[in-house]
Amino acid sequence: MDLSQIRKEIDEIDESLVKLFEKRMQTVRKVAEYKAEKGMAVMNSKREREIINSLTGKVSPELVTYTKILYNTLFDVSRSYQCKEIYKTSPLAEKIKTALKSTPSQFPASAIVACQGTEGAYSQQACEKLFYNPTIIYFDTFRGVFDAVKNGMCQYGVLPIENSVHGSVTQVVDLMSRYDFSIVKSAKIQINHVLLAKEGAKEIKEVYSHEQALGQCDDYLKSAGVKTKVCENTAVAARIVADSERNDIAAISSPLCSELYGLKILKEDIANSDNNYTRFICISKDMEIYPGADKISLITTVSHKPGALYELISKFAAVGINISKIESRPIPGKDFEFSFYLEMYVSVYSEELVSLVSELSASGNFTFLGSYTEI
């Protein structure tokens, strides 16, 4: 038998399989209708284990693992199909629809915006990239930015979420699960760290900056053999150096802060990588979804059991959604239990997405953070 004949045989088998698959999915629809009527959960781990145990006993030993993979995939697809039937609408789905209808067609050019730090901070640069003419109110902490938006003091808040060199800004990620807000846009800006000191500064013994900036420049700092001190912000670090009577301290900050605080640039390009970018998110109190939104962020938790994370990821894979970022964060007060922050590129107009997030929101351990564009 040559290859063409073997392939013809496979084609015939596939034709039979696809007819059986369609028949199975039609039956799955009946299961979904029954579960919807009785208020039953889509997931039935006991039933799935029973099926796999039964079927793996009917194949040769060399095919046991492949049979498990095949049926786990089939269960993922079946659950996704059931969810599409059961979760056609939900409070979250209605909230998303309302936001799509009520959000203006253009992002505002002017607004009162909360930022962490002080004049010259990278948050200011991100804010001015997002808004044409913002009125910026500065706060000492990231929590202060969240509170300002929550209390209505500011319409929007701008916060760093991730750096290409040093990873996520964990303080912001942890605060995201404690506040009710929506991400409405994001911006990525290039970070150009320089070493700043007063005119006439002598041998530098200590360097001030934000912990992210210190981490992004730790190769230089180790080679220089200096002490470091963490500040709330790179701009705050520059201000501290400018106001200090010491002439042996410096700040890692931006070139803009050199002008603002009258400091001298001692050394340029001190970051570990030339490809140093930070992503900032713009948050609002209410959900706003502007035209062209193609990115979604969410936070969810999973059961503390083997395979739970796989089950979560498989839900997205089953409907063709690619997760671009996933990060675990410990849940305060719970030993070795984690929440997961996810980002994905997908349109909020996708019916499959709305069904899926509606299903996840029904679990009660899920927060839809927003649908937005990144500039």
Same domain, 234 and 309: no
Q: What is the mean pLDDT of residues 145-172?
A: 92
Q: Is residue 245 part of a domain?
A: yes
- Please identify which of the residues 278, 300, 301, 367 carries the catalytic annotation: 278
Contacts of 128 (CB under 8 A, 6+ apart): 134
Q: Is residue 166 part of a domain?
A: no
Same domain, 247 and 315: no
Number of domains observed in the structure of the chain? 3
Its domain, for residue 47, covers: 12-86
Q: Which of 86, 114, 138 is the last residue of a domain?
A: 86
For residue 363, is pLDDT > 80? no
- Please identify which of the residues 107, 146, 181, 280 carries the catalytic annotation: 280
From CA 290, how far away is CA 185, in angstroms rounded? 8
Same domain, 217 and 241: yes
The alpha helices in 106-168, defined as continuous H runs, are 122-130, 142-150
Same domain, 293 and 367: yes
What does the pLDDT look like over 54-108, one tens digit per residue?
A: 999 999 999 999 999 899 889 888 887 887 777 777 788 889 889 999 999 999 9
Q: Which of 234, 267, 300 is the last residue of a domain?
A: 267
From CA 371, how far away is CA 284, in angstroms rounded? 12
The CATH number assigned to the domain holding 35 equals: 1.20.59
Same domain, 253 and 329: no
For residue 364, is pLDDT > 70? no
| Cα separation of the two ends of the chain | 57
What does the pLDDT look like over 108-125, one tens digit per residue?
A: 999 999 999 888 888 999
Same domain, 256 and 311: no
Is 280 tagged catalytic? yes
The CATH number assigned to the domain holding 372 equals: 3.30.70.260
Q: What is the mean pLDDT of residues 244-269?
A: 91
- Residue 138: Cβ within 10 Å count: 19
Same domain, 74 and 98: no
Please choose, from the candidates 321, 305, 307, 304, the residue with its C-alpha nearest in 3D space to the C-alpha of residue 359: 321
Q: What is the pTM of this model?
A: 0.80
Same domain, 317 and 238: no
DSSP annotation of 374 reads B
Q: Is residue 273 part of a domain?
A: no
For residue 17, is pLDDT > 70? yes
CA dihedral 145, 147, 148, 151 (to 10 degrees): 160
Q: What local confidence, expressed as pLDDT, does residue 360 receive?
A: 80
Same domain, 218 and 262: yes
For residue 126, is pLDDT > 80? yes
Q: Is residue 6 part of a domain?
A: no
Same domain, 204 and 263: yes
Q: Which of 86, 116, 135 is the last residue of a domain?
A: 86
- Two structure tokens written together for 267: 């050394």
The CATH number assigned to the domain holding 205 equals: 3.40.190.10
Same domain, 226 and 303: no
Query: Which has the higher per-residue pLDDT, 232 or 57?
Result: 57
Q: Is residue 348 part of a domain?
A: yes
Same domain, 37 and 77: yes
Q: What local confidence, expressed as pLDDT, does residue 289 receive?
A: 95
Q: Supply the mean pLDDT for the chain.
A: 89
Q: Is residue 122 part of a domain?
A: no
Q: Is residue 66 part of a domain?
A: yes
